[in-house]
Structure 1
Amino acid sequence: MTATLEHTNFTVADPKATAAWLEAVFGWKIRWEGTAMDSGYTVHIGTGSSYLALYTPPSASPSAERSYDVIGGLNHLGIVVDDLDAIEARVIDAGFTPKSHADYEPGRRFYFDDDNGIEFEVVSYT
């Protein structure tokens, strides 16, 4: 039996705003949203088999630490797409700046940081 990743949960400034650009860029759908632990708010967005849980507490502050230097830090989130160029155009339309373009086995990719400071890697294996 193989295990499958169902979801990842992380804190963002505004779950509804983050969900809106994830829907526009990747075509994902909101699966659930509502009140969460500690009087926070969560939006689950993704596909039928996996999703991101976007949580915000009543008050939060951005981290000044670089994730790659912190044990347990979220370094980046990798998203596989069929049409890398089309998704890059959507990323730009959403107001983000693609960076670190690379083309090496097993695929072509780029990265971008969202407005929460989360780095995304977008890769195509086609």
Structure 2
Amino acid sequence: MATGQIEHVNITVSDADRSAALFRDLLGWHERWSGPSQFGGRTIHVGSDDSYLAIYTNDTAKGGYAKGAPLNHVGLSVADLDAARQVVSAAGLKPFSEGQYDPGPRSFYFFDWDGIEFEVVSYE
């Protein structure tokens, strides 16, 4: 059976530049592409050479999404959980539910400015 990975996730935010900067700082990613969206608005692709977040915005994107409608959260893996927490906090966001699931990785969660929930994990 073939194996695969997530190639990209497309999210809608109220400020694409702010969100792209967060993920560059948090994950060491780079901007792969930026430009007008085919349906209006603007998109920034920020990620690694193999996968990325497509961060979309338009004039009507206001944020305030409800958790679980329809996405529960996006999981991100980092080498240094403490450094990641500092980046999230420095961006004015609040880490919560910090802990370790047995036998899993250490982790914490945060909501971005638009109400999208992210889980940050470290297997180190």
TM-score normalised according to structure 2 size: 0.90
Would you say the 8 A contact 2:63–2:113 is kept in 1?
no
Q: How many residues end up aligned between the 2 structures?
A: 122
Q: Is the 8 A contact 2:67 2:117 kept in 1?
A: no
Q: Does the aligned pair in 2 maintain the 1:39–1:58 contact within 8 Å?
A: no
2:21 alignment counterpart: 20
**Corresponding residue for residue 32 of structure 2:** 31
CA distance in 1, matches of 2:81, 2:122: 6
Higher helix share: 1
Secondary structure of the structure 1 residue equivalent to 2:39: helix
Deviation at 1:63, TM superposition (A): 4.8
* % identity of equivalent residues: 44
CA-based RMSD: 1.4
Report the CA distance between 1:62 and its aligned residue.
3.1
* Structure 2 stretches lacking a partner, 5+ long: none
Determine the C-alpha separation between the residues in 1 that align with 2:62 and 2:111. Answer: 17
Which sections of structure 1, spanning at least 5 residues, go unmatched?
Answer: none
- Report the Cα distance in structure 2 between the residues aligned to 1:91 and 1:83, rounded to whole angstroms: 13
Equivalence for 2:114: 116
Structure 1 length normalisation: TM-score? 0.89
